[in-house]
Amino acid sequence: MLERKHKSVMRQFRISPLLLLLSALSITQTAQSFQLPSFFGAKNKQPAQQDTKSSSSVQDIHAAVIVPGFLTGDEDFKPLAQSLSKRGIPTAVVPLPPWHWIPCVGGRSMRPMLERIDYAVRYVCSEMSKNPTLGGETINIPPYGYSLMDCYTDFMLNPGGALKVGGSDEVDEYPTDVEPRGDFTLPGENDNDDTEGSVRICLIGHSAGGWISRVYLSDRSYGGKVYGGTKYVHSLVTLGTPHGNAPGPAFKGIEWCNREPLPIRGLAVAGVGSPGDSSGKLTQNAYAFCDPDGTGDGSEYDGDGLTPVFSSLFMEGDDVEKITLDDVTHYPWSDAGIWGDLFAPELAEEHRKGKPWYGDDDIVDQWVEPFLTRKK
């Protein structure tokens, strides 16, 4: 059988931290620490909150920002950004290498990631307000300031998680005086600038990037800061995101999100075709990790190989649509080279033989088109 011709550009021998972490699931199950709405346009429903600017002065446009999943980086999603941009949807990826996730490992606060999402979204909104006709181009976001010492300090101080850094693993009990390190000032921005733009865009969150995006959209305080991202975002698409509650500190942030409905239009996308009883130990343990009661062994579920269907579709809201895609895998496993074969051999082999993931062109059409054509 001919090997798959990969559509994404990845280094075959790059160590994937995602695979390194998830491999722990194949060793133990006791660890407790994972429409389109028109990206697109003026038909989008206004959010429930009152924006400080009048709705008539804010335009919902065809542009998007992709939020990578846990322990993945922006390079993994640039092919998807290019695919969307070619469809006339200018798209950027939140700029971050995988090691930027280190302070968040173990179910700790996602404030470090939220700062990066906010930086990317504000930049894209600013650029699109200057050139709203920009189309067919991938948007490159300038780098922000973040050093290895910043990462170390964040790792030591970032609250929550299994070790209850700061005193608790409950989101509402995080200390409010711990600020993520890094310089996230936009080029040319100063403290007197009006940060609310004249356009709103769509967020696309892969895996954990989906529920972290929900935190960004909330008007509640998270670790001492209210992001209120609906002033910049009109729609959210989640791809294989674990939205369902489950035991353990890794799900405390998800539980926090589930206390309120999604305030804007949303699309929850699930993949099916990787049964827990026949897709390898990684898949079975990942599904068990998402079990609502923490009692199942994962064999009873189906999903995309990492997130079971019920969890991917758990997002609720007044204007949320849910779709399930047949025979789609969570991540382009075989593109990780020997690391995919080592830690997810069954999933890597399926991907190598042609099983697509959410970012492949034919699959993108399936979750983009329903919203391009959706009638209110």
Helix/strand/coil percent split, the chain, to 5: 35, 15, 50
C-alpha 362/C-alpha 368 separation (Å) is: 10
pLDDT band of 190, cuts 50, 70, 90: low
DSSP state of 52: S
Q: Residue 6: is its pLDDT beyond 90?
A: no
pLDDT band of 372, cuts 50, 70, 90: low
Question: What integer is the mean pLDDT of 229-253?
Answer: 96
- Strands, sheet with 265-272, edge to edge from the N-terminal-most edge strand: 91-93, 59-67, 199-206, 233-239, 265-272, 320-326
| Residue-by-residue DSSP string for 87-125 | TT--EEE----GGGGGGGTTTB--HHHHHHHHHHHHHHH
What integer best gives the mean pLDDT of the chain?
A: 85
Which amino acid, one-letter code, is at 205? G
Question: Domain limits of the chain?
Answer: 58-186+194-373
C-alpha 339/C-alpha 358 separation (Å) is: 20
Long-range contacts (CB closer than 8 Å, 24 or more residues apart) made by 140-143: 140/92, 141/92, 141/93, 141/94, 141/95, 142/187, 143/95
Q: What is the pLDDT of residue 142?
A: 95
Output the pTM of the full model.
Answer: 0.86
Q: What is the pLDDT of residue 194?
A: 54
Q: What pLDDT, in 10s, does the model give residues 28-67?
A: 343 333 334 344 443 433 333 444 444 446 688 778 999 9
Q: Residue 191: is its pLDDT beyond 70?
A: no
Which amino acid, one-letter code, is at 223? G
Query: From the CB of residue 1, how many other CB atoms can be counted at a distance below 10 Å?
Result: 6
C-alpha 219/C-alpha 263 separation (Å) is: 9
Query: From the CB of residue 205, how many other CB atoms can be counted at a distance below 10 Å?
Result: 25
Q: What is the pLDDT of residue 306?
A: 97
Q: What is the pLDDT of residue 273?
A: 97
Question: What integer is the mean pLDDT of 194-207?
Answer: 84
pLDDT band of 22, cuts 50, 70, 90: very low
* Phi, psi values for residue 227, rounded to 5°: -85, -35
Question: Do the strands 59-67 and 265-272 form a parallel or antiparallel pair, or are they unpaired?
Answer: unpaired
Of all residues in the chain, what percent carry a pLDDT higher than 90? 70
Q: What is the pLDDT of residue 138?
A: 87
| Residue-by-residue DSSP string for 170-203 | SGGGS-TT-PPPSB-PPTT--TTS----SEEEEE
In this structure, of 263-277, 310-324, 357-371, the range with the lowest mean pLDDT score is 357-371
Q: What pLDDT, in 10s, does the model give residues 243-258?
A: 999 999 999 999 999 9
Fold of 58-186+194-373: Rossmann fold (3.40.50)
Q: What is the pLDDT of residue 55?
A: 44
Q: What pLDDT, in 10s, does the model give residues 125-150?
A: 999 988 877 767 789 999 999 999 99
In this structure, of 124-128, 206-210, 352-356, 368-372, the range with the lowest mean pLDDT score is 368-372
Sign of CA pseudo-dihedral 111, 113, 116, 121: negative
Question: Which bin fits 207, alpha (ψ -120 to 50), beta or left (φ > 0)?
Answer: left
Q: Residue 291: is its pLDDT beyond 90?
A: yes
C-alpha 329/C-alpha 246 separation (Å) is: 22
The stretches of the chain forming alpha helices (DSSP H) are: 17-22, 78-86, 111-130, 148-157, 208-217, 252-257, 281-289, 309-312, 338-343, 345-352, 361-372
Q: Does residue 218 or residue 58 have the better pLDDT? A: 218
Cβ atoms of 285 and 332 within 8 Å: the answer is no
Give me 261's structure tokens: 């409905």
Q: What pLDDT, in 10s, does the model give residues 67-93?
A: 999 999 999 999 999 999 998 899 999
Q: What pLDDT, in 10s, does the model give residues 324-341?
A: 999 999 999 988 878 788
Q: Residue 214: is its pLDDT beyond 70?
A: yes
Q: Residue 120: is its pLDDT beyond 70?
A: yes
Q: Residue 8: is its pLDDT beyond 80?
A: no
